[in-house]
Amino acid sequence: MSTHVERSEESCNGVWKKKKTQVASGQLPLFEFSPDNLAQLGKHQPHINGKDDQFSRYIVYVDESGNHNLQSIDPQYPIFVLAFCVFHKRHYSEVIVPTLEKFKFNHFGHDQIVLHENEIRRRTGQFNIFRSRQHQLAFMSELTEIIEFSNFVLISATIDKRHLAKANPEDNAYHIAYTLTPDMMLRAAWTNTIARPSFSDISPRASVDREDLEVELGNPDLDPYEAMNFDLVFDWYYAEGSVFTLGAFYKDIDNYVVEVTSNNVPEYAGFDVTRPTNSTSASVMGVEANWLHNFVDGPMQGVLLGANLTVLDTELELLERTNETFALPEAAELTANAFVGYEKGAFSTRLSWTHRDKYLQEVGDDSRYDLYVKAHTQLDWTASYQFSKGFELVAEVTNITDEPLELYQGTPSYTLQFEEYGPTLALGFKGRF
């Protein structure tokens, strides 16, 4: 990658002197201050937060220009630019920041402004203050002068998205990608993650239902989730617009949060008390497969076929139920989806089939009180017609086969909840303005 770096310096007497330097890729010029620079900054030479020796002397800002979405690439403009601006902290804090603050106060009366070039050029948002084209040009000229004579290193790279589309899909979480053939990719990852519990779980809340003798509590003492994750994924782009994916994964989780219901809580005698608690350990192992086929030509052009399958083996241990193991709550052992669709021109339609196995919803005092949601299979249909770029007619029918929602406690023969909703028909319009 070739790199062009610009560096500029300023003198203390108010006369700006600009110097451009060509620097080889991978090498940065030093930000050494001349006596003139130090005179302008002051003789005191303060430390940033008094801890210059603990942190880098430099601050780096990163930004991109252009559309970096890899899912839809405009063949007329398939590139974007990634830029790194490197500043010396003292110069940034004692020269650049005060200069920009003064500039913002002069024009807006405050400094809570993001100087976005696109908005400035279009005079939108807070930049509708420009009284004329001349006023706008004067504003941009003053801002350009501040940028030109600031002391920084700029490193930029032009990236062709066409070369990255298969190797690095958007939101790619994988660390290693190996191209087996032009149409086959193998990805692998080892990650360690941490996540705090949800606000509703960690908040010190209490909800008491005296009619049903139920209490729901939060738990401010919850520890954050910690997980070690291993992923392996194989992708085969076997035809245009078509892909087959096969993956395997394993997750070792500490402090997994699960809701436990008990009627042995002294503070709420006679009530069923539900509150979140940390597990001692949890793990998830599984395989997943995904298939999508798009007929792009021939008599079946526009027809879409797809299916996916996920199989899980999960395990959970709790302090409240020692010497027992559970499946992870809300994690069905098997989930599967299949669909057939048609998309051509302004018309789109899809018929979908969805199945999931039973799953554990809530852990009780013992196995008799564990709450499960029964297996569920559902058929849905959707269709849409786009009359114009901003106007679309949408119709859908969900739960065509009228599948019920059923929960049971302990064993399937003890039904706790049974609800039937029937098919749901919806018809509506979508507008984009």
Domain boundaries, the chain: 9-161, 168-431
| CA-closest candidate to residue 166, choices 62, 77, 240 | 240
Query: What's the rounded Cα separation, in Å, for the pair 292 and 313?
Result: 25
Q: Give the chain's largest Cα–Cα span.
A: 89
Query: What's the rounded Cα separation, in Å, for the pair 270 and 208?
Result: 12
β-strand partners of 157: 82
The single residue listed with the structure tokens 């949408």 is 394
For the chain, give percent helix, strand, coil, nearest 5.
15, 45, 40
Q: Return the pLDDT at 164.
A: 59
Angle at CA of residue 121, ends 120 and 127, nearest 5°: 30
Q: Return the pLDDT at 294.
A: 92
DSSP secondary structure letters along 180-218: EETTEEEEEEEEEEEEPPPHHHHS--EEEETTTTEEEE-
> Which CATH number does 168-431 carry?
2.40.170.20
If one counts every other C-beta atom within 10 angstroms of the C-beta of residue 371, the result is 19
- Per DSSP, the three-state class of 163 is helix
The single residue listed with the structure tokens 């900054």 is 41
Query: What's the rounded Cα separation, in Å, for the pair 282 and 363?
Result: 14
Q: Return the pLDDT at 240.
A: 86
If one counts every other C-beta atom within 10 angstroms of the C-beta of residue 329, the result is 22
CA 26 to chain centre: 31
Query: What's the rounded Cα separation, in Å, for the pair 362 and 274?
Result: 9
Half-sphere exposure of 89 (CA within 13 A, CB side): 14
Query: What's the rounded Cα separation, in Å, for the pair 394 and 350?
Result: 12
- Per DSSP, the three-state class of 266 is helix
Token pair for residue 261? 């219901």
The pTM (predicted TM-score) of the whole model is 0.55
Query: Which H or E run includes 139?
Result: helix 133-148
**272-278/214-217 β-pairing:** parallel
β-strand partners of 294: 304
Query: What's the rounded Cα separation, in Å, for the pair 220 and 276?
Result: 10
Query: Which H or E run includes 133?
Result: helix 133-148
Is residue 246 within 8 Å of 270, Cβ to Cβ? no
Query: What's the rounded Cα separation, in Å, for the pair 257 and 282?
Result: 10
Q: Return the pLDDT at 68.
A: 64
- Per residue of the chain (433 residues), give pLDDT as tens: 333 333 333 333 233 333 333 333 333 343 444 444 434 433 334 444 444 455 678 888 888 776 666 666 777 777 778 888 888 888 888 888 889 888 888 888 888 888 877 778 777 777 877 777 788 888 888 888 888 878 888 887 777 766 655 444 444 444 687 888 889 989 898 888 888 888 888 888 888 988 888 898 888 888 888 888 999 999 999 998 899 999 999 999 888 888 888 888 888 888 888 888 888 788 999 999 999 999 988 899 999 999 999 999 999 888 778 888 888 888 899 999 999 999 988 899 999 999 999 999 888 888 888 899 999 999 999 999 988 878 899 999 999 999 999 999 988 999 999 999 889 999 998 887 7
β-strand partners of 231: 189, 249
CA dihedral 50, 51, 55, 59 (to 10 degrees): -10
